[in-house]
Structure 1
Amino acid sequence: MRVSVIGCGYLGAVHAAAMASIGHDVIGIDVDARKVESLSRGEAPFFEPGLPEILGDGLASGRLRFSTDIADTRGADVHFIAVGTPQLPGAHAADLQYVDAAVTALMPVLRPGDIVAGKSTVPVGTAADLAVRIASVGATLVWNPEFLREGWAVQDTVSPDRIVVGVPAGDAGVHAQAMLRQVYHTAVAADTPFLTTDYATAELVKVSANAFLATKISFINAMAEIAEVTGADVTQLADAIGLDERIGRRFLGAGIGFGGGCLPKDIRAFSARAEELGKSEAVAFLREVDAINLRRRDRAVQLTVDALDGSVFNKRVTVLGAAFKPHSDDVRDSPALDVAVRLHGLGAQVTVTDPAAIENARLIHPQLTYVADRDDALRAADIVVVVTEWDEYRRQLSPEQAAALVSGRVVVDGRNCLDAAVWRASGWTYYGMGRP
């Protein structure tokens, strides 16, 4: 099929390359000429495992190309909208200007029978409004939310765990559903669940999934707060309740909380939309979910201060991690970087290292010292603070190896990803989140 992808940021670039990898003829469109030039050379503008390979393969095969000219989408069977929906400045609501601009630009090239598939995360009710505009030229809107995990985005696009398609009623909806089945032909052939819904349900699937995930993470972090004043071990607690199949162990890892460009802003936008609908009480708990999440950053900073006898002033603090999660270079609303900045603000000499995110971190917080090599970053440190659970820190760094580099054997494990017993046995003073 001929496919266009409007917006070539994180979501769009991955989607375009993945669609080409399963055999479609794809044109990616973005207003950023430098980004288009980079992608056209096969250079991914962000770190994502597996993307450089499928990007290069798609370009070499001729099935994938990029452009700044929306007219180049003419003739595509399906047009994906994959632009960002950031948080509005000074508010919690989502900023839909890029979605509106993408649809406005696309209207002159649409033909009767074309499909426009929205992938951007939007407030419920957005699709119904856009559908009217798109139907005016004989095209049909579907809403096809993305469920990508940064670090696994290529896999999640090519082999998703489910496909959700919100369609209008009638023949147009039947046709649209059939077209999306052709787009995702490899996943459909693998019996991936293909769920057809109305617009509102499709929009809610994404934001409610994020709200549930954020709630689960903040729940265990709330339990960590209780554990810290009772002497309980939140890791053992999570193991115990995670054995209940109704609960499950995944995402019950207490630590400094979630971040990134999606989860925080999506739950805030969900709350804002619920308030607009007169149902703010239905998701009032999300405000506390957000507050718990932010408090864990405070706790990591306080643990570091306490570990250094009440002051980090002029102390050499090595922070392991800058990205909000491993396998990513994304530092948007990163708890790891936030902790580093707060420690710097308290007068610490902060050195930050990360396998992928140093350049992005330096752009927004140039006041910190960045060292690419992990061992060089550890040298002469008074304390080590682990804030992103990269394998380079949790599996490949032994306490003996670290001890040979640092000045003080003190570690704050902001992700509870180290084996406390092993590190303590090696002479380290170990502090975890919600652990005695």
Structure 2
Amino acid sequence: MKLTVVGCGYLGATHAACMAELGHEVLGMDCDMDKVAVLNSDKAPFFERDLDDLLAQHTRSGRLTFTASYAEAAAFADLHFIGVGTPQLPGEHAYDLSHLFSAVRQLAPRLTRAAVIAVKSTVPVGTAPRVRDLLHEFAPAGDAVEVAWNPEFLRESFAIEDTLRPDRLVLGFDTEHSWAEAVLRRCFENIITAGTPTIVTDWATAELAKASANAFLATKISFINAMAEVCEASGADVEQLADILGHDVRIGRRGMRPGLGFGGGCLPKDIRGFMARAAELGVEQALTILGEVDAINNRRRERMVDCAREQAGGTLAGQRITVWGAAFKPETDDIRDSPALAHQLHELGAHVTVTDPQALDNARKLHPELDYVDDPTAAVQDADLLLHLTEWPQFPRIDPHRLAARTATPKVIDGRGTLDPAAWHEAGWTFRALGRP
């Protein structure tokens, strides 16, 4: 098939490359000329594991190209995926849908024949009818343009796997028998025939799928971190508690990682946007639990600052603190709402040095007041305290004996629960971990 992907940020660029991998001819469209130039040069403007290789393979073959022209996109194909960002409105919990509606308004006047608009962006429930009305108002093809909802469930650092081999495929339509369904089934034929569970539903259910999935994942993480608070107060071990709970098949260990909490561009934004939409619908009490989920998550960050202050003898002023990690999770350079960002320590008077395998450039742009070092071993030179805040697999492999001699005081706080306490104790470190005795 020939198809377009409108919006080539993290979601859109990944989706475009993966659709080319499935054999389609793909035109990615983005208004950012610099981004388009980077993508056409075989690279992504962000880090995602294996994505550069996939982009290079298909841009060089001619199966995948990128443009900044809506007119070119409309002429290229009759299936258009929209994957523009829907960030949180400044000062509010609600989604900012301006990018989505702008994309629809600019694409619509150029749709002169029957087409399918498949929206992948995360939105509040009830957005699909607004998209349909805009398309029917401004598209010359009128009601021959159909709207489908195809939510994404990507995990950063696993985005290609999650696109090509998803654990479910959700297709939402306005009517029971839709021409758009046949088009999307053809597009995803390889995925469907591979046995992927495919749920065909209405618009509202498809819109709710992503928000409710992220709300549940956030709740699971915050639950085990609430247990970490109890463990710290009682002397229990949250890692062992999580293992015990995880053996119950109704609960499961996957995704239930105690530690510093969640961040990124999805979970924090989506639970807040979900609460805002519930309030608009008059059912805010149904999601009051998400307010506590958000509060627990924020308390983990505050707890890390408190632990650092305790280890520093009561004040962070003048302390030299090394932070391992800036990205909100490993295998990404994404620092959006990252719990690893250490600017709070700087504001409390500490001298902060940060290291991260991928996210230093982004962190440096946002927080130029901090120091940045590429080598995690060199970063601990003369440090009074080491904080482990992003669970990159490289960090636990570093020999704590070799590090201890470089520090002013060998003290470490493990905010992610992946360092070996026995090995660090044996190497002479004062070791502290969130939720562990």
TM bucket (normalised to shorter chain) is over 0.9
- Please state how far the C-alpha of 1:420 moved relative to its aligned partner: 1.4
Q: Deviations over 1:320-352 (max 9, x none)?
A: 000000000001111000xx1111111111000
Counterpart AA for 2:99: Y
Counterpart AA for 2:42: G
Are 1:329 and 1:356, in contact at CA under 8 Å, matched by a contact in 2?
yes
- Please state how far the C-alpha of 1:129 moved relative to its aligned partner: 2.1
Q: Secondary structure at the match of 1:149?
A: coil
Question: How far apart in 1 are the matches of 2:113 and 2:205?
Answer: 26
Gaps of 5+ in 1: none
Counterpart AA for 2:257: G
Question: How far apart in 2 are the matches of 1:295 and 1:36?
Answer: 39
- Please state how far the C-alpha of 1:187 moved relative to its aligned partner: 1.1
Question: How far apart in 2 are the matches of 1:375 and 1:349?
Answer: 17
Q: Deviations over 1:215-269 (max 9, x none)?
A: 0000011111111111111111111111111001112211111001111011000
Residue number in structure 1 paired with 2:268? 264
Residue number in structure 2 paired with 1:383? 385
Residue number in structure 2 paired with 1:22? 22
- Please state how far the C-alpha of 1:294 moved relative to its aligned partner: 0.3
Residue number in structure 2 paired with 1:115? 116
Residue number in structure 1 paired with 2:82? 81
Q: Deviations over 1:171-202 (max 9, x none)?
A: 4x2x2222112211221121111110100000
Work out whether 1:274 is the aligned partner of 2:274.
no
Question: How far apart in 1 are the matches of 2:334 and 2:85?
Answer: 14
Counterpart AA for 1:206: K
Q: How does 1:56-135 map to 2 (within 5 A)?
A: 56-73=56-73, 74-135=75-136
- Please state how far the C-alpha of 1:153 moved relative to its aligned partner: 0.7
Question: How far apart in 2 are the matches of 1:257 and 1:354?
Answer: 18
Are 2:386 and 2:413, in contact at CA under 8 Å, matched by a contact in 1?
yes
- Please state how far the C-alpha of 1:315 moved relative to its aligned partner: 1.6
Residue number in structure 2 paired with 1:195? 199
Are 2:308 and 2:413, in contact at CA under 8 Å, matched by a contact in 1?
yes
- Equivalent of 2:162 in 156, 165, 178: 156
Q: Deviations over 1:262-281 (max 9, x none)?
A: 11011000000000000000
- Equivalent of 2:240 in 217, 236, 241: 236
Counterpart AA for 2:351: Q
Q: How does 1:17-416 map to 2 (within 5 A)?
A: 17-73=17-73, 74-135=75-136, 136-171=142-177, 173=178, 175-337=179-341, 340-394=342-396, 396-416=397-417
Counterpart AA for 1:215: T
How many residues are aligned here?
431
Q: TM-score, normalised by structure 2?
A: 0.97
Aligned-residue CA RMSD (Å): 1.1
Gaps of 5+ in 2: 137-141
Residue number in structure 2 paired with 1:10? 10
Residue number in structure 1 paired with 2:139? none
Question: How far apart in 2 are the matches of 1:244 and 1:119?
Answer: 34
Q: TM-score, normalised by structure 1?
A: 0.97
Bigger Cα displacement from structure 2, 282-291 vs 128-137 = 128-137
- Please state how far the C-alpha of 1:132 moved relative to its aligned partner: 3.1
Question: How far apart in 2 are the matches of 1:296 and 1:218?
Answer: 9
Are 2:4 and 2:80, in contact at CA under 8 Å, matched by a contact in 1?
yes
Question: How far apart in 1 are the matches of 2:112 and 2:284?
Answer: 40
Q: Deviations over 1:109-136 (max 9, x none)?
A: 2244311100000000001221233353
Bigger Cα displacement from structure 2, 4-13 vs 423-432 = 423-432
Seq. identity, %: 53
Counterpart AA for 1:217: I
